[in-house]
Amino acid sequence: MVHSAIIKKSIFKYKTCANFGKRNHLSTAYPFYNFGVAMIKDIQLKLINLAKERIFYTAKSVSQIAFELGFKYPQHFNRMFKKNTGFTPIEYRNLN
């Protein structure tokens, strides 16, 4: 069995539970069913915190930041950011 601390530490670089499972020769459902929604929420919160730093402290476009964080489409990043912060990335940048 894979140790939960190792999974929680390395899951962030894979962005999703399914990618983590594939890369570690596990069922793509293994991380989700063993660690649940909390793991997905943890990944999202880490992405959001990283995004907040990049939005606030760099002049990069929101699209650039989204791609750097592994999002295929900036719209998905915008939706997740607003759902977790209550602000769009542009609104968050303008809070300064």
Q: By C-alpha distance, which of 27, 9, 6, 5 is closest to 18? A: 27
CB 78 within 8 A of CB 70: no
The pTM score is 0.66
Place of tokens 């649940």: 36
Quick one: pLDDT at residue 38?
A: 64
Quick one: pLDDT at residue 1?
A: 43
Quick one: pLDDT at residue 43?
A: 74
Identify the burial level of 41 via C-beta atoms within 10 angstroms of its C-beta, where 0-12 means exposed, 13-18 middle and 19 or more buried. Answer: exposed
- Taking the C-alpha atoms of residue 14 and residue 22, their distance in angstroms, rounded to an integer, is 10
CB 29 within 8 A of CB 21: yes
Quick one: pLDDT at residue 3?
A: 47
pLDDT digits (tens, 9 = 90+) for 9-65: 555 565 665 666 666 666 655 555 556 566 677 778 888 998 999 999 999 999 999
> Per-residue pLDDT averaged across 64-82, rounded?
91
> Per-residue pLDDT averaged across 85-91, rounded?
96
> Per-residue pLDDT averaged across 56-82, rounded?
92
Q: Which structure tokens are listed for 20?
A: 């983590």
